[in-house]
Amino acid sequence: MIWIKLGILLIGFVYAGLLPYSIHKALAHVSFDLEKHTLSFFSNKTLYGDKFVKGYKWLLFATAILTYAFFWLLTKYYNLGQYERLMRYIDLGFASLALLAFVPHNLKPYSLKSLAPALQRFMHNVLAVVVFLTLPALIITFQVAIITEIKFLGILGMSIIGITILSVAYTMLKSGINGASELLFINGVSIWTIIVTMVTFLS
C-alpha cells in the first residue's frame, strides 16, 4: 500500500504541475491572446512552427498517460475497481486526450472542396469537447464513489471541482470558450489533484 501512496504522491504532483507550468511558460515566450484563442491554437504549425507544435503534442500525450496512471492508482488505493462507470471514464479520458494530441487544430474553414482539413478540424473539436466533458465526469464519479466512506475528501473534492465547473461555466457564458476558460479549468483540476494527493498520502 505504501508503494501505491508513493506513486499517487509522485504522479499526482507531476500531473498537477506539468500542464499549468508548461502553458504558463509557453505564454511567456509567444504572443497569445487568451481572450480570443483557445489553447489548441498551440497545435497549429502555421502559427507557431514545428518545434512548438511537437512540444504541445507530447505535452498532451504525457498528460493523457499521467491522467490514466493517477486515477488508476486512486482506484487501487481506494478499492474502486468495481465501479464500472469510473473505469470507463478513465479509459475514455486517456483515449480522448491521447488522440487529441495527434489531431492538431487548423484554421481552415469547413468545405467539401477540402475534405481532409475539414475532417481534421471536426475531429479536433469533437475530441476537445469529449476531453472537456470527460475529465469533470471522471472526477465527480470518483468523488461520488468515495464520499460515503471518506466524507472529508469526498465533500472537499466535490466542492473544489464544483467551484471550478461553475467558474468555467460563468466564464464561458460571459466570453465563450477561450484560453482563459480552459486555463481556469486546468488550474482547478490541478488544485483538486494536489488536495486529493495530499489527503490520500496523509491518510
Please name the amino acid found at residue 119.
L
Rounded percentage of the chain residues whose pLDDT exceeds 90: 40
Instruction: Say if CB 198 and CB 153 are below 8 A apart.
Output: no
User: What pLDDT, on a 0 to 100 scale, did the predictor assign at position 44?
Assistant: 73
Report helix, strand or coil for 57.
helix
Helices (H) and strands (E) in the chain, counts: 6, 0
What is the pTM (predicted TM-score) of this model? 0.89
Sign of CA pseudo-dihedral 127, 131, 137, 138: positive
> Distance between CA 195 and CA 172 in Å, rounded?
25
**Residue 81 predicted with pLDDT over 70:** yes
User: What pLDDT, on a 0 to 100 scale, did the predictor assign at position 107?
Assistant: 66
Q: How far is CA 68 from CA 30, 64, 121, 174, in A?
A: 30, 6, 26, 32
Task: Convert the pLDDT of each residue in 129-148 to its tens digit.
Answer: 899 899 999 999 999 999 88
> Distance between CA 154 and CA 66 in Å, rounded?
22
Report helix, strand or coil for 50.
helix
Task: Convert the pLDDT of each residue in 184-195 to its tens digit.
Answer: 999 999 999 999
67 or 175, greater pLDDT: 67
User: Where residue 108 falls among pLDDT bands split at 50, 70, 90?
Assistant: low
**Residue 109 predicted with pLDDT over 90:** no
User: What pLDDT, on a 0 to 100 scale, did the predictor assign at position 112?
Assistant: 65
